[in-house]
Each structure stands twice: as C-alpha cells, then as structure tokens.
Amino acid sequence: MTASAKASEGNPIVGLAGWLNHWARLQPERPFMTWQGTCITYAQADRLVRTAAASLARLDRQNGATGRIVLYSQNCPAAIIVWLAAQAAGLVPVTLNRAHRGTILADVVSRSAPSVVVCDPEGVDILKESTGEGKLHIVSLGMSTADELGELLTEAGRAIDVPLRPDPGSDGTIMFSSGTTGRSKGVVIPHGMFDAGPKQLQEAWAVTETDVFHCWAPWFHIAAQLDVFALALRSGASVALFQSFSLSRFWEQIRDSGATIFGGFVSILEMLYAQEPDPRDRDHRLRFGIAGHIPAALRSNFQNRFGVPMLDAYGMSEAEPLSIPRPDRPVPDGSCGRANPDFRVEIQDEEGRTCPAGEEGEIVFRPLSDHVMMSGYLDEPERSRAAWRNGWFLTGDLGTMDSDGNIFFRDRKSEFIRVKGENVSPQEVESVLMGHPGIAEVAVVGVASELGEHEILAIVVPRADLCAADLQEWCASRMAKFMVPRHIRIVAELPRTPTSKVQRSELHKLLETSPSAS
C-alpha cells in the first residue's frame, strides 16, 4: 500500500494544500516541481504556500473580504504556489486564461469579484489596460523561481501552521471555460472534485512518488490542475513544469527531467510524429502519454515509433475525468475507455432515450457520488439548470458506446458538417486522412456550398510533395462519397491557439489564400 493510500485511510486528507503538507512532512527533500533547471522540494513548496496563505488572508480582509483571489499568470512555479496558498487560506482561487485581453478579460475579472489579483509581470500592464488603473489590488509575481511572490513574501507575517481543511463541497477553484454560445462560463469546482478524480486516476495508472509528470500545458486549465498537479500531489510525485510546448526541445526535456508521464493534444502528437525519425526516439523513461480523441492510425504510429503507450482520455472542466483508460487494459481503436466509476455515462438521443450499443447520440452523465463534478456555473443558475435534462448532464458531445461500456467520442455537436443531408464528423474525416503516408497534419471544416449546407475543406500539412487531386482520389476509396473533401488546401502549418489547438475559426480563410485542388 502506498503512503498516500495509508494516509487516506487512516486520517483522510482533504484539499491539495493538505496533500502538499502531508508529503512535506513525509518526504521533505523529494522534488515537488522543477523549472528551468531549479528544483522546488515538497518542504520548500509547503513553507512558501503556508507563508503566502497568511498574506493572502490578510490582503483579502484589507480589500473587501470577497474571499476570491484572481490569478492571471503564465506557467511558472510562483503561480502554482499562489493557487495552492489561496486554497490553504480558505480562499477561492479564480484561474484565468492568460491569453484573454480587453473586454473579455475585464468581464471575467469583474464577474470574479476578487479582493486581490495576482499576475506575472507582463500581465500587470495587460490587466491595467483592460480593466482600468487603480481599481484592483495587484500582486506581481516573478517568473524565475517559486519564491518570487512579491508582497506575499516581502510583507508576510507568520505563516499559517497547517492548511485549512476544506469541506469537500466548498469551492476549490473557479475557471472560465468557453461555451458554444454566449460568454465564457465560470465553472465552480469543489474541493471534492480535486480529490475524487486524482484518486481514481492514481489507482488506474498506478502513479507513485517515483513518477515525474512532464507538463507544458497551461496551468490554468483543468488538465494541468487536476490530471497533473492534483494527481502528483496525491501521489507524492514530481512535476517538470515548462512555460510552453517546444517541438525542438520536447524529447530533450523528457530525457533531462526523467519524465514518466506526459500529456497533450492530438496536434502535439501529430507535430512530434511529423519530425524526422531519430536514433534516440525510444531513449526515455515514459510509461505512457495521455491525449484526447486520438485517431487510431496516429495512436498506432506514435506507439510503434516512440514506444510510448498512448491513452485516449475524455473529460471536461465540469467533470474530469469522465473516462479512465488504463495502461493494463487495451481498448478498441478510437475509444477513450470506460466511464470513471464515480459517474454513470450513457449515450442518449434527442428525446433523452438511451441509445443501443453502437448507435450515435449525445454523451450524457450523472454523478454517483457527491462533489465529484462542478457545483454549477458562477452566478448563472439558469445556465446551470439548462445543462441538465432529467437528471443527466448534457456534454454537447456526440459519441457511441459499445456493449462492453467503452466510450467513443465522435465530435462536438456544433462542429458537425452537413453535406447533402448527411452529418459529417470532421474528426472522422481527419482520422482517415491521417492514415495517408504523405500527411503530417490535417484539419477539416465545413464551408458554405452554393447549393446550400456545406462542402468539406481539408487543410493539409504535407510531409513531402503532395498532389491534392491524388489525395482526393485516395480518399474516395476510403470513405463515403459525401465525406470526401471537395476542397483541399496545402499549407506549411495550421493556425493554432496559444495552447496549440487548431484554430478552426481561421481555417475558412485558407480557402482563398492557399494552393488548392477543387
């Protein structure tokens, strides 16, 4: 039995700061986090968190006592310390997307109602320009080391003795998630969700204190917070944190950090696989990698080349994780595994009826335990209620489930393409195209047709010379006629968001600006 399991049974630990304090006492010199060649031990991180917690509590009392602390920062150790410190002080951290600017940033800050805003140095000017001078109490962090906490250290009093023990149902973090319609939703995540999800993942993935997570993903997203930091804290593991994804240095980082687990997006796997083969492709300690919605051909190719089993995971800010693929339990191609035991997951039609095995419908779920998913959307009771139907949460995702309970994500309902009366999933077309040996990356969208509905546009990054007309012919033998891209554009790279996801809103513009075949 692991030390974390013993602690959980004998004296249940609640709260991420509580787990940090537990490991600081049990293994004080073990690395909690590495960053730019420096190491922050569990003992060092715990001391910083307890000190910053006392300062945040004082600043909250002095600035309206709203109980909320906004964090607007790039990846850096100090941001992680403040996130945990807010929780340790019984405050609610609101972690904002660092890419936000202007009116959107002003809106989410206003809706957060913070007593204090903590941000990196570059973020200070962006924040002031977006929200106005003098309206907020701002604490500026440094980017180099974990102890660059500004006035949280320079004006700190006595550190709190131990982190406050939160109620599992109390607010642990608020993060804003983009919706398919309307403004961003403030997802209120209880402390219990940060406990339940990592508990299931730790058991399924056999994570221990010897594991090292490679993390470049934005720390303010649920994947980094729950699937990396919360899981590492529960397990006593380490996190190798990086400011952003680096294609040229990825494998060097993996080797230097001794990483055993990494995560990312399909786009990252595509870019890594598109690189020239290297004799050191299998020179690493990785046990497995995690990504969402991995095309079957890409997963097979990636695993065979790099020797890294890839797990296809499914979840969302509102409930993470919803599926738990296991390294020791193979799943069918295209599946993200079975449901997290804390949830019941179904596929339902538009009337709320359960679909038979293999039939496509909307992925819905209901919790089987308390506090394992979001409490609701911040100050939006109507929007919170609208997300449910007859006791089931509506994900807005389309998928199927086989007779063994394996879940297959197909696409977002809003991203479907309508071609001559047929619904077409961009992901399905992309999955087929990725099987072509001359394609490194691909993205598919629908564009307006002169006859109404859509035509399919495929944006392709080639490995070598590629003829678009030949590619259409290749597609015709591998997919239904209505799925074959009507337009193909060959580009040097795909437009991407700051998190390296494909920026689908920009793909339509390439119809008029890139070499093509139609």
Taking only the tens place, the pLDDT of each residue in 286-329 is: 999 999 888 888 999 999 999 999 999 999 999 999 999 999 88
| Cα-Cα end-to-end distance for the chain | 61
Whether residue 160 contacts residue 54, with contact meaning beta carbons closer than 8 Å, is answered with: yes
Nearest one of 194, 347, 168, 198 to 261, comparing CA atoms: 198
Nearest one of 337, 474, 259, 289 to 298, comparing CA atoms: 289
pTM for the structure as a whole:
0.84
Nearest one of 334, 335, 356, 338 to 347, comparing CA atoms: 356
- Residue range 142-167, pLDDT digits in tens: 999 999 999 999 777 789 999 999 99
Out of 98-102, 283-287, 425-429, 504-508, least confident range: 504-508
| pLDDT over 70 (residue 517) | no
| pLDDT over 90 (residue 133) | no
Radius of gyration of the chain (CA): 23
Nearest one of 452, 449, 465 to 518, comparing CA atoms: 449
Look at 496 and 287; give whichever has higher pLDDT.
Answer: 287
- Domains in the chain (CATH in brackets) are 15-166 (3.40.50.980), 195-343+402-412 (3.40.50.12780), 416-517 (3.30.300.30)
Give the integer Cα–Cα distance in Å for 76 and 418.
43
- pLDDT attached to residue 487: 93
- Residue range 442-463, pLDDT digits in tens: 999 888 887 667 899 999 999 8
Helix/strand/coil (H/E/C) assignment for every residue in 216-272: CCCCCCHHHHHHHHHHHHHHCCEEEECCCCCCCCHHHHHHHHCCCEEECCHHHHHHH
Q: Which pLDDT band, with edges at 50, 70 and 90, does 180 fall under? A: very low
- pLDDT attached to residue 181: 46
Residue type, 483: M
Whether residue 235 contacts residue 202, with contact meaning beta carbons closer than 8 Å, is answered with: yes
Instruction: Calculate mean pLDDT across residues 13-17.
Output: 93
Whether residue 37 contacts residue 28, with contact meaning beta carbons closer than 8 Å, is answered with: no
Q: How far is CA 438 from the centre of its chain?
A: 30
282-291, 455-464, 468-477: range with highest mean pLDDT: 282-291
Torsion of the alpha carbons at 48, 162, 230 and 189, rounded to the nearest 10: -110
Whether residue 367 contacts residue 319, with contact meaning beta carbons closer than 8 Å, is answered with: yes
Whether residue 366 contacts residue 171, with contact meaning beta carbons closer than 8 Å, is answered with: no
Q: For residue 238, what are the CA distances in angstroms to 224, 241, 262?
A: 13, 9, 12
Give the integer Cα–Cα distance in Å for 223 and 199.
15
Q: Give 124's contacts (C-beta < 8 A, 6+ positions apart).
A: 138, 140
- Residue range 213-269, pLDDT digits in tens: 999 999 999 999 999 999 999 999 999 999 999 999 999 999 999 999 999 888 889
Whether residue 213 contacts residue 224, with contact meaning beta carbons closer than 8 Å, is answered with: no
Whether residue 392 contacts residue 352, with contact meaning beta carbons closer than 8 Å, is answered with: yes
| pLDDT over 90 (residue 198) | yes
- pLDDT attached to residue 464: 83
Instruction: Calculate mean pLDDT across residues 179-206.
Output: 89
| pLDDT over 60 (residue 71) | yes
| pLDDT over 80 (residue 415) | no
- The neighbour count for residue 316, using CB atoms within 10 Å, is 20
- pLDDT attached to residue 421: 63
Q: Which helix or strand (DSSP H or E) is residue 385 part of?
A: helix 381-386
- pLDDT attached to residue 506: 82
Give the integer Cα–Cα distance in Å for 71 and 50.
17
| pLDDT over 60 (residue 518) | no
Give the integer Cα–Cα distance in Å for 52 and 316.
30
Give the integer Cα–Cα distance in Å for 40 and 113.
32
Cis peptide before 321 (omega within 30 of 0): yes
Whether residue 289 contacts residue 262, with contact meaning beta carbons closer than 8 Å, is answered with: yes
Look at 76 and 432; give whichever has higher pLDDT.
Answer: 76
Q: Give 204's contacts (C-beta < 8 A, 6+ positions apart).
A: 324, 325, 326
Give the integer Cα–Cα distance in Å for 170 and 87.
10
Tell me the percentage of the chain whose pLDDT exceeds 70: 94
